[in-house]
Structures are given as structure tokens and as C-alpha cells.
Amino acid sequence: MKKLTLFFTITLILVMLFTGCFSSKKKDSIVVGAKYYTEQDILGHVLKGLIEEHTDISATVKGSLDSMLAFEGIKSGEIDLYIDYTGTVYGNYFGHKERRPPIEIYNICKRELKENFNLLMLDQIGFNNTYTMSVRRDVAARYNLKTISDLAKVAHELTIGAGIESLNREDSVKGIKQAYNMTFKREVAVESSLRYIAIENDEIQLTDAFSTDGLTLKYDLLVLEDDKEFFPSYHAAVVIRQQTVDKYPQLLEVLAMLPGKLNDDKMRSLNYRVDVNQEDTAAVARDFLKEAGLVK
């Protein structure tokens, strides 16, 4: 009798396990893509935290992707959503070269993603990770530099350091010299990892950098305003599969909470915490969400 009772008990436990009686309700799951650098890793965890806070959906971050892998991944369905940049979509994915106002570029990206791949580009988040000219603050104060037009008046007295590719690209240093009609005292090819050390040592006085680069804070650089809007706009926005929205329509309302919560300065400070302070990416993302009132 005891053996029979034990047999029925074990059988009952197995049935209950397979039917989920001993497990919590299984969550639906989606995949959030993230490219291979700090900013994207932070943003991937921001999306994960936001989605999991306001829905019953479990989100997994798939990181370390380059731009084309991320784009191919969302087209194929390997990832459901990620944050991309208007300049990348406009130039890299669709091959457009014409200079247009930022809002026009955004609208073209939004339309062509939908028409060609059934992908939705949601509202712009609020920051623009574009190329910049960044200068030592003491140099900026000495020459009263606020814009690249200001720089053009004194560029002949200053040395710029940039990657060898940037020095020769039409959309970077080579092109901006023509757009602003300026010539530098010297142009020095410097690897990206060394340019900030070179600028700290006054071997160079300015460099090209991304507008949300946290290292501009570490080395106390001033990001000059691109007053002629030479550099393409790289406004961040969520890109999501239409099929994912059809399955989880609540995501649109949740993701609509993010625009307006991040600007260039804030994104730069988050990157700084990871790149300079060596803080955990997921923790930095969580702190941002709490500070912005997006999670409890």
C-alpha cells in the first residue's frame, strides 16, 4: 500500500510540474537588440527595464551587434526592437547622400522602414549622437569659441587630432574644412583611444568626437555647436517590428514614455558613468529609469 501511495504521489507531482501548477505564470518573451558600444548597451537595458516594469513581457538584451547585424536581425525576426539613429538608417541602410533637415531625414527613415521592411520607427527619443568638434575648455575660453563658425576664425592657430579616416572623409574633417572655409595649423592622425590623452597633453587642441561621448566629460571638453548643420543628424529612435506590435500592442504605449526623457547631456553623463567610472551598465540604466520616473 505504501508503495502504491508513493507511486501515485510521484505521478501527481510530475503531472503538476508539467501542467505548471508549481511554476509561476510563464511570461511572453521578446529580444531587444543593442550594438557593440556603451551607449547602445545602456539603451538596450533601458528598453528591457521599461518593458518589464509596465508589461508581463520578459525582455532579453542581445548585444555586441554592429549596425548591419542589428538591422538584419530585426528584419529577420531574430530581434524584436532596438534603438537606431536616423543618420545610420538614412545613409548606411538606404544609401541616401542628399543633405536634408533633420526632421525630413527622420520622416524619410520612418516611411522607408515601413514600406520596405514593415518596421516602425517610433518618435525620436531626444538626443542626437552625431559627430562634433570638441575643444579644450581653456582654448575655448581664450578664443571665445562656442560654434564651429567661431572656430573657423582661429583654426589656423590650432592643431586638430583625428582618426586618419576622419581626416580624409568628406562627411568629417575634410568636408567640414570646406563647409566652414577653414584651415588648421596642423592635422595629426591619432588613434581614437589616444586622442583624449593627446588633447590632455596639449599635443592637439581639438578633436572630432561623438556628441554623447562620455570621455568629453572626463577630459572637460567643450562640444562646439555645428551652426551650419554640416554633420548629419543621428537622432535616436526605437525601431520595432510591426509583427511584434501586432502581437503586443501595449508596447507602443510603454515605449511612448521614453521620448523627452533623454537629451545629449543626459546620455553623455550615462556613458560617462560606464566608460569612466566603470559602473555596471544595467545598474546605470535602472538608475536612469528611476530618476526619470519610468520605474518604481
Residue 56 belongs to some domain of the structure: yes
Q: Which of 183, 198, 223 is the endpoint of a domain? A: 223
Q: Same structural domain for residues 171 and 248?
A: no
Q: Same structural domain for residues 104 and 151?
A: no
Task: Give the pLDDT confidence score for residue 205 in this predicted structure.
Answer: 95
Q: Same structural domain for residues 115 and 261?
A: yes
234-264 pLDDT, tens per residue? Answer: 999 999 999 999 999 999 999 999 999 999 9
Residue 28: CB atoms within 10 Å = 11
Place of cell 555586441: 64
Task: Give the pLDDT confidence score for residue 32 in this predicted structure.
Answer: 98
Q: Same structural domain for residues 153 and 204?
A: yes
pLDDT band, very low/low/confident/very high, at 18 (cuts 50, 70, 90): very low
Enter the DSSP assignment of 195.
H
Domain that holds residue 216: 131-223
- In this predicted structure, the answer to whether residue 21 has a pLDDT above a threshold of 50 is no
Instruction: Lay out the sheet containing 186-189: strands in order across.
Output: 186-189, 159-162, 206-210, 131-136, 221-223
In this prediction, residues 270-287 reach a mean pLDDT of: 96
pLDDT band, very low/low/confident/very high, at 168 (cuts 50, 70, 90): confident
Q: Same structural domain for residues 153 and 169?
A: yes
Structural domain total, the chain: 2
CATH assignment at residue 219? 3.40.190.120
Residue 7 belongs to some domain of the structure: no
Q: Same structural domain for residues 125 and 236?
A: yes
Q: Same structural domain for residues 252 and 282?
A: yes
Residue 4 belongs to some domain of the structure: no
CATH assignment at residue 74? 3.40.190.10
Helix (H, G, I), strand (E, B) or coil at 257: coil
117-135 pLDDT, tens per residue? Answer: 999 999 999 999 998 999 9
Q: Same structural domain for residues 253 and 207?
A: no
d(CA 239, CA 123): 9
Residue 267 belongs to some domain of the structure: yes
pTM for this one? 0.82
Q: Same structural domain for residues 41 and 178?
A: no
Task: Give the pLDDT confidence score for residue 92 in this predicted structure.
Answer: 86
Residue 211 belongs to some domain of the structure: yes
Q: Same structural domain for residues 106 and 238?
A: yes
pLDDT above 90 covers a percentage of the chain that reads 75
In this prediction, residues 48-53 reach a mean pLDDT of: 98
Q: Same structural domain for residues 205 and 275?
A: no
The pair phi, psi for residue 123, each rounded to 5°, is: -60, 145
d(CA 176, CA 170): 8
Q: Same structural domain for residues 250 and 239?
A: yes
Residue 101: CB atoms within 10 Å = 10
Q: Which of 223, 250, 272 is the endpoint of a domain? A: 223
Q: Which of 205, 223, 241 is the endpoint of a domain? A: 223
Residue 90 belongs to some domain of the structure: yes
Residue 214 belongs to some domain of the structure: yes
